[in-house]
Amino acid sequence: MNIIIQKFGGTSVATKELREKVAKKVILSKQEGKIPVVVVSAIGRSGDPYATDTLIGLANHAFKEQSSRELDMIMACGEIISAVIMANTIKATGYDAVALTGFQAGIITDEYHGDAEVTRVDCEPILSLLKEGKIPVVTGFQGATLTGDITTLGRGGSDTTAALLGEALEADVVEIYTDVDGVMTADPRLVPEAKVIDTICYDEIYQMAEDGAKVVHPRAVEIARRGNITLKIKNTFSDAPGTIINGKIGSKGNSYRSGNEGDLLTAIAHKNGITQFTVFFNGDSVEESERFMNELTDNHISIDLINFFTDRKVFTVEEKNVEKLEQILNKLEYKFQVAKDCSKITAIGHKIRGVPGVMARIVKALAGQGVKILQSSDSHTTISCLVSRKDMEKAVNALHQEFNLSR
């Protein structure tokens, strides 16, 4: 059917003028013979009246304690408002559009409020509208249980909605519109010389998303990879070609950035708000390790940069889990040390697999800027270093320059 999913983030629909730009892009795709399905996030960002964080703040101010079910209900309001206003904006141009909640669009989830898993997508409601020539405008970030309770899909869930609809509807492409020209070699706010990446594969963009790049949600990448769907990251405010994400190696030979064959790295990602824990153990008891790991699992605490030794376990957690983890460790009567205000810097590149000397170059580049590596880990496509938050910007720029990513 030549279906195209077009997802627009909160900054893309923040004002009347921007929503009119969005409508023009949607209508243009229809005029080109495509069949658009629109997905929208809540309007604006924290502080704006209908942004998700604003709604959460409103609920928290009103009640100290509330159920996750009711919190999902108020969080879902932001996208509903956005969908209605966006549908009416499109209608004003002479094209028929219909606003749909996640449930009305056929998105069914489990009952885990706040971070629900989608169990199935019923395509019939959207397909019926498309056959009538209408443009569905779907609320991102949400679905509902079989019993009708509203659920949300976790932060960044609008990207997930777009990818899920793309898979279910067998769309030709899923376009993710944001406020940058595409996926970049580093955060341009930190590295002015950062460049747009023309083409990138699923594995690398997934690593970038997991390690701090906020241009697309990692869950959306997983879904796109599963369904072999092409993603495009584009700028709402320009006609830049953007970045193509698919399973192919790249647009020019083995290069991920056209014209730069031979590059080892694709990008440098960073993530702030990281805390390092060192937990001390008396010996390497299997039972004790299992007890410790089970406590983390039961409390939904994910750990990263994991280095386990006979007498200690060193790992990192996100800032939101620090207090909970400290309570667990005190309850278990473990001795531990904490290093707060850290950042994780990750060098990403499919070509580094099996190439000697990459870590040596990273160590040298960071040392040259006086950046101390607190911990490191690597995989086939990544090398991550934990550094102090105050050194984060120096570290990102040093690695970007060392591997010539601005060429």
pLDDT digits (tens, 9 = 90+) for 94-131: 999 999 999 999 999 999 999 999 999 999 999 999 99
For residue 62, the SS3 value is helix
Instruction: Provide the pLDDT confidence category of residue 284 given band limits of 50, 70 and 90.
Output: low
- pTM, two decimal places: 0.86
Residues 6 or more apart from 2 whose CB is under 8 A from it? 33, 34, 35, 172
For residue 361, the SS3 value is helix
Residues that constitute the known binding site for substrate: 52, 79
CATH number of 3-179: 3.40.1160.10
pLDDT score, position 59: 85
Residue 405 has pLDDT above 70, yes or no: yes
- Closest by CA to 38, choosing from 175, 170, 183, 136, is 136
- Alpha-carbon Rg for the chain, nearest whole angstrom, is 23
pLDDT score, position 341: 97
Q: What does the pLDDT look like over 335-375, one tens digit per residue?
A: 999 999 999 999 999 888 878 899 999 999 999 999 999 99
Query: What distance lies between CA 341 and its chain's CA centroid?
Result: 22
Q: What does the pLDDT look like over 130-188, one tens digit per residue?
A: 999 999 999 999 999 999 999 999 988 999 999 999 999 999 999 999 988 999 999 99
| C-alpha span between 159 and 176 (Å, rounded) | 7
- Tokens 């014209």 label which residue? 259
Does the domain made of 267-402 have the CATH classification 3.30.2130.10? yes
pLDDT score, position 248: 67
Instruction: Provide the pLDDT confidence category of residue 260 given band limits of 50, 70 and 90.
Output: very low
- Closest by CA to 136, choosing from 108, 109, 107, is 107
Residues that constitute the known binding site for ATP: 7-10, 178-179, 189, 214-215
Residue 249 has pLDDT above 60, yes or no: no
Percent composition of the chain: helix, strand, coil (DSSP 3-state, to 5): 35, 25, 35
Kindly list the domain boundaries of the chain, sorted by start residue.
Answer: 3-179, 267-402
Which residue stretches of 201-316 are H helix? Answer: 202-210, 218-227, 286-298
Residue 254 has pLDDT above 60, yes or no: no
How far CA 90 is from CA of 18, 95, 97, 123, 282, in Å, comes to 12, 6, 6, 22, 65
Query: Which uninterrupted H or E stretch holds 97?
Result: strand 97-100
Q: Which amino acid is at 46?
A: S
- Residues forming beta bridges with residue 359, ordered by sequence position: none
Residues that constitute the known binding site: 7-10, 52, 79, 178-179, 189, 214-215
